[in-house]
Amino acid sequence: MKFSTYAEVLTPEHPLAEGQMKKPGHLLKDVLDETGGRYELTVEVGFRMQKTLRLAAEATGDERLADLAQQTEVTVSLEHLRRHDPLSTRIVYGCRLDREPADGDLPEFDDRRRF
């Protein structure tokens, strides 16, 4: 399993943009204002993500995931967004845990995630 952070430009084709009544995401300028102009931000690792990380760590024996499950925040880099216009660029950001092909079957993880 792979834990990662992301900051992506919200395009009309982005999955989060489809079917929205209002404009989703955050204006890059607003994010930069909040961070004092730094091209990085801190996001909360919510309770659900912490629980998912704990379950994944137990299922895989991955100490890194166990350590991440104890964190309440992570840093998200925005460096790759420097070439975008802060006044017109909307972004989405956060953290995620993705399955990798090498993970194979993890019924002890998948079964416990359903509840």
pLDDT digits (tens, 9 = 90+) for 72-106: 999 999 999 999 999 999 999 999 998 888 877 77
Look at 4 and 16; give whichever has higher pLDDT: 4
Residue 114 banded pLDDT, cuts 50, 70, 90: very low
Measured CA to CA, the distance from residue 13 to residue 11 in angstroms comes to 5
| pLDDT attached to residue 32 | 98
pTM, entire model? 0.81
| pLDDT attached to residue 111 | 60
